[in-house]
Amino acid sequence: LTVQANKPITNVPPNMWGIFFEDINFAADGGLYAELVKNRSFEFFAPLMGWKEVKQNKDTGHILIVNRTADNTANPRYAALTVDAPNGSYGLSNEGFRGMGITKGQQYNFSMWANAPAGTGLQARVVLLDEKDQPIGEAALSGFHDGWQPYKVSLTATGTAAKGKLQLLFKGQGSIDLDMVSLFPANTWKNRPNGLRADLAQMLADLKPGFIRFPGGCIVEGRDLANRYQWKKTVGKPEERTLIVNRWNTEFSYRSTPDYFQSFGLGFFEYFQLAEDIGAAPLPILNCGMACQFNTGEVVAMNELDPYVQDALDLIEFANGDASTKWGALRAAMGHPAPFHLTMMGVGNEQWDPQYIERYKIFEQAIKSKYPDIKLVSSAGPFSKGPMFDYLWKELKSSRADFIDEHYYMPPQWFLSNASRYDNYDRKKGPKIFAGEYAAHTKEGTEPESRNTWGSALAEAAFMTGLERNADVVQMASYAPLFAHVEAWQWRPDLIWFDNLRAVGTPNYYVQKLFSANKGTQVVPILQNGAVLAGKDSLYASATIDAAAKQVILKIVNVSAHPQSLQINLQGVQAAKGAAQQQVLTANTLAINTLDDPGKVAPVTQSITAGNRLSINAAPVSLNVIAIPYK
């Protein structure tokens, strides 16, 4: 194989390998968003879903759910408790999201809003319970007043539970109104209040993503327009954000998850902040006036599209405007006076109808007129074949869309045969490509993680060499979906699986990580007898140089069941003396990583002798990332 290190084809876009975040499979509430209390504001369809009344030791009382829509439109319901509990054991327990993950020695911050005109003498206990209902942490709260106000207390867990619970018990006689009953671990990502689960956020940071697409996916569209994702309802104080039913709830899911709602505690501010924390460019996707085609397929009348367009314009102001602007001021008030440097935005998701083009054009005109530098991502591009897709493709090609968003959920074989998909792409006309959602789909197995086989990841790796080789066309790519809770998933495969205490990177995660952490700065040719490697002899390859680190980086995928010995001829640079590095990812093609056995498929690093002529051993079914330092 010849590597022409001094003949750069194109720059590797800095945002090339990114993340697709969607609140599916408990990715936000019950996942990345660290809140442990389910239905904290009693706004689920069944207001006490997740809650149970607790009555012990002859103590008694009752709970009434009160709705005060006129006073509080965003969060109308609260729980009014009447307490008759001389022994201190009447109250509520919350089951969390498939239980609460509680860790011994860890501090937890409890808070609630309460109003107690007739309950000033009540005393409360906040108790953490393990799976056997044994207390593993306790704290007291008292001094309740007339008038709504927050009450807070911290407690340290004395035991660990993957499926713990929270109890809030009252002693005395009186009544108290409760809302926004909340429990967070103190050690959230960057120790932020209203924060993110640190282990999951760290796994994202470790990917070194170039961008984060947010908030999806179908969730952008919503099951109907009333339940579409509206960013303005996800910012400001958490208690003033309006909860909606998740589009992946119950009948709209492949699997039933009837308790799936969006609290928006992880909203657009938290999203921008996370992107900034981990050095990823934000890539928000906005509703284009169309609900999900797999649900109602409802579209807004053209003469009522303006508020949707205004939302897009205002989001740019929220991200980038200074404090003299309405939305910039809100961002500053939320604690981030500096801009978030938003440079791109998507309009619509998987809308494959002429109605999309009509609506997209209005967005394009408005956004490009006011913010000419904002790059626009159009909805999912013409992936399938047929007259409708030809029409969409033609329209989008002649639009000012900077990117077309292509999605591919296909069998591994498709990824292998499409490694050269963009080799002959029309580079003169036509927008760039954003491979915004992709995953190789294999057959189902019993474990939740069973579709994330090494074979699927290997096929993605082979395909990704084709993306990298064509980085002048495909400038961004993200695997999808990102997260899944092992007990609350609707879609698989997914990149990261988790339960309430643990998380595991799939083989696909390690492929993403290897590409992203070794992306280099310029693509250079890697050729076999003058031809690119896109499947011949079961080999796929791409090469980059990292000009700053002075390294040539090769990605070589061997999909055959045999080892292959490869001679590399490095041209155009002088290899430095000493060791080069080969990171190898290989396993049985059916191997998976699970929470109980997380390390079956993980990269191993070995040293190889550097030089302009290198011998590389590509193990059977392996991805090899080889970094060769040069002078």
**130 contacts: CB under 8 Å, gap ≥ 6:** 102, 136, 159, 160, 161, 164
Site string for ligand AHR, 318-357 (x = CB under 6 A): -------------------------------xx-------
Give me the sign of the Cα torsion angle 232, 237, 242, 247.
positive
By CB under 6 A, name the one of 231, 491, 509, 515 that touches ligand AHR: 491
Told to check if 85 binds ligand AHR by CB under 6 A, we report: no
Whichever of 182 and 506 has its CB closer to ligand AHR, that residue is: 506
Amino acid, single-letter form, for residue 456: S
Q: Which of 35, 95, 350, 449 is catalytic?
A: 350
By CB under 6 A, name the one of 30, 346, 348, 481 that touches ligand AHR: 481
Q: How far apart are CA 317 and CA 311, in angstroms?
A: 10
Q: DSSP assignment of 525-544, as one string?
A: -EEETTEE-BSGGGEEEEEE
Q: How far apart are CA 199 and CA 346, in angstroms?
A: 29
Is residue 437 part of the annotated active site? The answer reads no
H-type alpha helices, 150-221: 198-206, 218-221
In the region spanning residues 425 to 444, those forming contacts with ligand AHR, defined by CB under 6 A, are 437
Told to check if 168 binds ligand AHR by CB under 6 A, we report: no
Distance of closest approach, residue 440 Cβ to ligand AHR, in angstroms: 13
Q: How far apart are CA 604 and CA 164, in angstroms?
A: 36
Whichever of 41 and 379 has its CB closer to ligand AHR, that residue is: 379
Contact 267, 235 (CB under 8 A): yes
Whichever of 179 and 350 has its CB closer to ligand AHR, that residue is: 350
By CB under 6 A, name the one of 47, 217, 238, 525 that touches ligand AHR: 217
Whichever of 379 and 622 has its CB closer to ligand AHR, that residue is: 379
Contact 165, 95 (CB under 8 A): yes
Told to check if 480 binds ligand AHR by CB under 6 A, we report: yes
- Kindly indicate which of the ranges 9-17, 215-223, 325-333, 611-619 contains the residues binding ligand AHR, using the contact rule CB under 6 A: 215-223
Told to check if 406 binds ligand AHR by CB under 6 A, we report: no
Whichever of 350 and 449 has its CB closer to ligand AHR, that residue is: 350
Told to check if 494 binds ligand AHR by CB under 6 A, we report: no
Told to check if 222 binds ligand AHR by CB under 6 A, we report: no
**Residue 33's Cα: distance from chain center in Å?**
11
By CB under 6 A, name the one of 8, 164, 172, 216 that touches ligand AHR: 216
Rounded to a whole number of angstroms, the distance between the first and last alpha carbons of the chain is 21
Instruction: Tell me what percent of the chain is helix, strand and coil, each rounded to the nearest 5.
Output: 20, 35, 45
HSE-up of residue 358 (Cα within 13 Å, Cβ side): 12
Told to check if 215 binds ligand AHR by CB under 6 A, we report: no
Check residue 178 and give left, alpha or beta (phi > 0: left; psi -120 to 50: alpha). beta
Distance of closest approach, residue 394 Cβ to ligand AHR, in angstroms: 23
Tell me which residue has its CB nearest to ligand AHR: 217
Q: At which residue do the structure tokens 């404090």 appear? A: 323
Distance of closest approach, residue 213 Cβ to ligand AHR, in angstroms: 10
- Kindly indicate which of the ranges 79-87, 144-152, 158-166, 216-224 contains the residues binding ligand AHR, using the contact rule CB under 6 A: 216-224
Q: Helix, strand or coil for residue 251?
A: helix
Pairing of strands 281-286, 344-347: parallel
- Kindly indicate which of the ranges 214-222, 297-305, 312-320, 499-507 contains the residues binding ligand AHR, using the contact rule CB under 6 A: 214-222
In the region spanning residues 3 to 62, those forming contacts with ligand AHR, defined by CB under 6 A, are 22, 24
By CB under 6 A, name the one of 218, 244, 281, 309 that touches ligand AHR: 218
Distance of closest approach, residue 20 Cβ to ligand AHR, in angstroms: 7
Whichever of 314 and 460 has its CB closer to ligand AHR, that residue is: 460
Q: Describe the crossing of helices 306-320 and 268-277 by its angle, rounded to 10 degrees.
A: 40
Pairing of strands 522-524, 10-11: antiparallel
Q: For residue 15, what are its two tokens? A: 């945002």
What 8-state DSSP symbol labels residue 13? P
Site for ligand AHR, rule CB under 6 A: 22, 24, 216-218, 349-350, 437, 480-481, 491
Query: Mind telling me the catalytic residues?
Result: 350
